């Protein structure tokens, strides 16, 4: 069984999450040009930064680090980029991210992870608009990062990750349940753990670590964190219902209690399925990720 102290020690070696090679090449093309002063290029880079789960995660780490010493946590990616500035962003985040990439494994194609994460984020944004939630950027980012613990697991505990995926496939038991039975923790816990170590805003830590809980968080977590968590759970399930899943077995719940909490009609699920798919495909294309290769 995994112990917090050992996880902490292990994750200390992790300072950046890698992205896909295709996104890395795209980032490289930005390093060749003078980003500052070209609103078009700036806009495209902000789009990429807020649509790539690993890149968003790295940006949040940097902006919330002791180096910046800000009096409050920053959760909005656009605001984070404004604070960091394009030149430091290029030097300390983009450049290193063009050097090492996530390698596709025979049992895990990371493009499906990007597909699932982006579809969840876009679904969450539609939900946010539907329920008039004021923090649309945050609702998107929370869902985009919900499964980030899988990247952490694949990097830091590769043999455990492989075993869990294979056992999940072989026995048709949800991946997170296999993870828990093998180690006592799962990728939700691991992602939340790293987000906490990297001093992320509380609502992100909560949304990541509770995304498989399937119940409404207690009131003491605060309104914003509760809504972000529940939207993250619901978006994840809706996307699975659409069939946009990652390797390993999984199921969706579409829990009526969560819909009620958000004041979200069940009709939402089918009402936007076309738009959500279309937007996700367009976003993948802008990230230069092709699912058919
Ligand atoms: Fe998950
Ligand atoms: Fe997920």
- DSSP code of residue 217: P
Can you tell me the mean pLDDT for 154-160? Answer: 96
Distance 69 CA to ligand 1 centre (A): 32
Distance 147 CA to ligand 2 centre (A): 5
* % of the chain surpassing 70 pLDDT: 100
User: Can you tell me which residue has the tokens 């795209």?
Assistant: 26
pLDDT in tens, 100-151: 999 999 999 999 999 999 999 999 999 999 999 999 999 999 999 999 999 9
- What's the helix, strand, coil split of the chain in %, to 5? 65, 0, 35
Check residue 243 and give its pLDDT.
Answer: 96
* Rounded Cα gap, residues 34 and 19, in angstroms: 22
Distance 87 CA to ligand 1 centre (A): 34
Instruction: Say if residue 292's pLDDT is above 80.
Output: no
- Each residue of 251-268: b (16+ CB within 10 Å) or e? eeeebeebbebbebeeeb
Fold of 110-286: Hypothetical protein af1432 (1.10.3210)
Distance 40 CA to ligand 2 centre (A): 32
Check residue 36 and give its pLDDT.
Answer: 78
Lookup: tokens for 191? 């992602």
Can you tell me the mean pLDDT for 213-232? Answer: 96
Q: Give the residues across from 108 on adjacent strands.
A: 105
Distance 256 CA to ligand 1 centre (A): 19
pLDDT in tens, 170-191: 999 999 999 999 999 999 999 9
- DSSP code of residue 12: T
Distance 233 CA to ligand 2 centre (A): 8
Distance 123 CA to ligand 2 centre (A): 12
Mean pLDDT rounded to a whole number for the chain: 96
Can you say how many angstroms the Cα of residue 219 is from the centroid of all Cα atoms in its chain?
24
Note the pTM of the prediction, 2 decimals. Answer: 0.97
Terminal-to-terminal C-alpha distance of the chain:
38
pLDDT in tens, 43-75: 999 999 999 999 999 999 999 999 999 999 999
Distance 32 CA to ligand 2 centre (A): 34
Can you tell me the mean pLDDT for 255-273? Answer: 96
Check residue 188 and give its pLDDT.
Answer: 98
Instruction: Say if residue 252's pLDDT is above 70.
Output: yes
* Rounded Cα gap, residues 182 and 173, in angstroms: 13
The full set of domain ranges for the chain reads 16-97, 110-286
Can you tell me the mean pLDDT for 219-227? Answer: 94
Distance 37 CA to ligand 1 centre (A): 39
Check residue 293 and give its pLDDT.
Answer: 60
Residues in Cβ contact with 126 at an 8 Å cutoff, skipping those fewer than 6 apart:
268, 272, 275, 276
Distance 35 CA to ligand 1 centre (A): 35
User: Can you tell me which residue has the tokens 């753990």?
Assistant: 193
Can you tell me the mean pLDDT for 226-232? Answer: 98
Instruction: Say if residue 37's pLDDT is above 80.
Output: no
- Each residue of 64-79: b (16+ CB within 10 Å) or e? beeeeeeeeebbbbee
Q: Which ligand is nearest to the CA of 192?
A: 1
Q: Which ligand is nearest to the CA of 175?
A: 1
* % of the chain surpassing 90 pLDDT: 94
Check residue 33 and give its pLDDT.
Answer: 87
- Each residue of 131-166: b (16+ CB within 10 Å) or e? eebebbbbbbbbbbbbbbbbbbbbebbeeebbebbe
């Amino acid at each position: 069984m995994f112990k917090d102290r050992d996880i902490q020690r292990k994750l200390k070696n992790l300072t950046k999450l890698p992205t896909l090679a295709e996104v890395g090449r795209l980032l490289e093309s930005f390093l060749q040009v003078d980003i500052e002063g070209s609103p078009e290029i700036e806009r495209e880079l902000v789009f990429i930064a807020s649509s790539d789960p690993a890149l968003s995660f790295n940006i949040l780490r940097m902006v919330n680090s002791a180096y910046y010493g800000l009096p409050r946590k920053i959760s909005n990616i656009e605001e984070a980029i404004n604070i960091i500035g394009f030149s430091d962003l290029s030097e300390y985040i983009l450049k290193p991210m063009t050097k090492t990439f996530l390698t596709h494994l025979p049992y895990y194609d990371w493009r499906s992870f990007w597909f699932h994460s982006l579809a969840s984020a876009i679904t969450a944004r539609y939900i946010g608009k539907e329920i008039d939630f004021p923090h649309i950027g945050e609702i998107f980012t929370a869902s985009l990062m919900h499964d980030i613990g899988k990247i952490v697991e694949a990097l830091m505990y590769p043999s455990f990750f492989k075993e869990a995926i294979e056992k999940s496939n072989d026995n048709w038991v949800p991946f997170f349940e296999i993870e828990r039975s093998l180690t006592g923790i799962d990728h939700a816990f691991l992602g939340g753990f790293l987000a906490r170590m990297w001093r992320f805003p509380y609502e992100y830590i909560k949304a990541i670590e509770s995304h498989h809980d399937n119940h409404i968080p207690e009131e003491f977590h605060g309104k914003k964190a509760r809504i972000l968590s529940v939207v993250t759970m619901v978006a994840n399930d809706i996307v699975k219902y659409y069939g946009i899943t990652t390797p390993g077995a999984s199921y969706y719940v579409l829990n009526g209690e969560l819909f009620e909490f958000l004041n979200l009609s069940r009709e939402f699920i089918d009402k936007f399925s076309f738009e959500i798919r279309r937007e996700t495909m367009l976003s993948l294309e802008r990230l230069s990720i092709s699912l058919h290769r």
